[in-house]
Structure 1
Amino acid sequence: MTDKLLRSPLALAGAMLVSALLGAGAFALLLSWMPGLAGPAIRGYLLEHPEILPEAMERLQARESARYEKAQQGAQAVVPQHLAQLQKPYAGAWAGNPNGDVTVVAFMDYACGYCRASLPGIEELLAKDPNVRVVYRELPVLGPESMVAARLALAAAEQGKFRAFHDALYAAGSPNAENIAAAAEKAGLDKALATKASQSKPVEQEIAANHKLGEQLAMTGTPSWVVGGKLLYGARDYAGLAAAVAEARAGK
């Protein structure tokens, strides 16, 4: 196997790239499996044939892109099965027209810069389209502070103050303890009630359900969206959201 790999420049480069992506530990494991891949031999070959690296990287990227696209297509196919759950907000975690003809579901994380960048587009959509509803789903994926913020946001939703807390925390910056406390104060939360609610089983179940939905819908990060019944990934401005809403209306 080792001799075959050494005779195949593309395979060798692919092994090197995969090892680089996985880290030193994976590379050490690779060498233990194929001891003939000595460091000097690899280095010498790559120095003589550096042109194979871009080609190998392009193939790796193409393969990963195809895999991701296939996952997204599969996820889109299962959206109808979860649409009712997706469009049902947790307590007061929604905005706009409660009877709107199109629902925009936004999966967000308070530590996500792309989520923050999407907020003006959501606000403009709500201001310009009186027949749209936005449902916010907490998807904390960027660390423990994101989880604390998500839990308190749902507690705020139970007090009817989700938007006040949501807007205040995004405006404050990163979801550290100081900013979370300041947002809770600005939103006028009952602190004792919110603290208790943030650790409650319903809040825990809601976040677990959102993570499960994220996995089923191939969400690799935030923000992610379901507009009408269509999946979207990544930051969106007003034009992008309005176009998705128009498409959803046209499909009714």
Structure 2
Amino acid sequence: MSKFTFPAIAVAGAVIGGLAVWGFDRQGGGVERAQVESIVHDYVLAHPEILPEAMEKLRDRESGKTVTANRDAIVTPFGSAWAGNPKGDVTLVEYFDYNCGYCRASLPMIAKLIAADPKVRVVFRELPILSAESRIAARASLAAAQQGKFASFHDALYAGGPVSDASIAAAAGKAGVDLSQPGFTKTADAEIAKNMETAAKLGLTGTPSWVVGDRVLSGALPLEDLQKAVAAARAG
């Protein structure tokens, strides 16, 4: 078995089959089709580096369709859960969990991105998948967003160490967030459920995950990678 996964093999098969059909249609005969298949087959074996590139383009194309179909649910912030230019020409969306160390590590990178690009807007979406405390923190964060205090709460909670009832309360106190609003839990849980549903459609499997333009990216990425994605979205 080669090192390529089933998706890679599928892509190779699609490339070979598609080009072979093209050659068959142009030449009009089974012999010619077999010749084209052989040529393409040999080329792919000689240049296997084209498979990851083809897979990436295939993933981007499919995820782009999903982003387009769910754009409002992705890019429309909940309350004040955004940063940067409110009228930015490119929106970068982060799906995050307060218990995610990589999300915490991405904070300075996001700040640098905003400082370097006055036309970008960043939207933060709660995706509490790591623990029960993650959901409690997400509810508090959404309360902060509803009260126009998301940024203060967000920074305070990440700076407060491991997420716990005490650190959530301390961050809320520091940001001046009222966590006792009656009935808000239902609103927060509805927002979280919407984010979970959208994340599933996008194929997100962890945090942080990003959507920029029509692309879906995963993991703690360096600033340069996100800047390239923003530039590509702007150019596109």
Q: What is the TM-score normalised by the length of structure 1? A: 0.69
Contact 2:126-2:195 within 8 A present in 1 as well: yes
Residue correspondence of structure 1 range 190-229 to structure 2 within 5 A = 190-193=178-181, 196=182, 198-199=184-185, 201-229=186-214
2-side partners of 1:205 and 1:176: how far apart?
22
| Contact kept? 2:143, 2:178, Cα under 8 Å | no
The 3-state SS of whatever aligns with 2:180 is helix
Q: For 2:121 and 2:170, how far apart are their aligned partners in 1?
A: 28
Give the aligned partner of residue 165 of structure 2: 177
Deviation at 1:95, TM superposition (A): 0.8
Q: Name the structure 2 match of 1:232.
A: 217
Q: Match for residue 161 of structure 1?
A: 149
User: 1:87 and 2:75 equivalent?
Assistant: yes
Q: From 119, 125, 135, give the equivalent of 2:113.
A: 125
Percent identity over paired residues: 49
Runs of 5+ unmatched residues, structure 2: 11-54
Cα offset, 1:230, TM superposition: 1.2
- Opposite residue 122 of structure 1, the aligned amino acid is I
The SS at the match of 1:192 is: coil
Corresponding residue number in structure 2 for 1:8: none
Q: Give the CA deviation at 1:239.
A: 1.5
The one-letter amino acid paired with 1:192 is S
Alpha carbons of structure 1 residues 97 and 133: separation in structure 2 relative to 1, 3 Å: same
Q: Contact between 2:97 and 2:130, CA under 8 Å: does it hold in 1?
A: yes
Contact 2:97/2:129, CA 8 A, preserved across alignment: yes
CA distance in 1, matches of 2:222, 2:101: 13
Structure 1 position 103, deviation (Å): 0.3
CA distance in 2, matches of 1:115, 1:176: 17
- Residue number among 187, 193, 198 corresponding to 2:175 in the alignment: 187
Residue identity in the other structure for 2:84: G
CA distance in 2, matches of 1:97, 1:155: 22
**Does the C-alpha gap of structure 1 residues 191 and 82 become closer, same or farther in structure 2, counting only changes over 3 Å?**
closer
Offset of residue 90 of structure 1? 0.5
Q: 1:241 and 1:189 mapped to 2: Cα distance? A: 31
Is the CA contact 1:228–1:245 (under 8 Å) kept in the aligned structure 2?
Answer: yes
Q: Alignment partner for residue 139 of structure 1, among 103, 127, 133?
A: 127
Runs (4+) off by over 6 Å: 64-67
Give the deviation of 1:145 after TM superposition.
0.2
Alignment check: 8 A CA contact 2:83 2:123 kept: yes
1:152 aligned residue? 140
Q: Distance in 1 between matches of 2:224 and 2:172?
A: 31
- Render the CA deviation track for 1:78-121: whole Å, top value 9, x for unaligned: 11111122110011111111100000011000001111111111
SS at match of 2:162: coil
Measured in 1, the distance between the counterparts of 2:105 and 2:183 equals 29
CA contact (8 A) 1:72 1:217 kept: no
Count of residue correspondences? 190
By how many angstroms is 1:198 displaced? 4.4
Deviation at 1:223, TM superposition (A): 0.6
Match of 1:96 in 2: 84
**Which residue of 2 is the match for residue 245 of structure 1?**
230
Distance 1:114 1:66 in 2: 32
Give 2:97's aligned amino acid. Answer: D
Q: CA RMSD in A?
A: 2.2
For structure 1, the 5+ residue unaligned runs are: 1-54
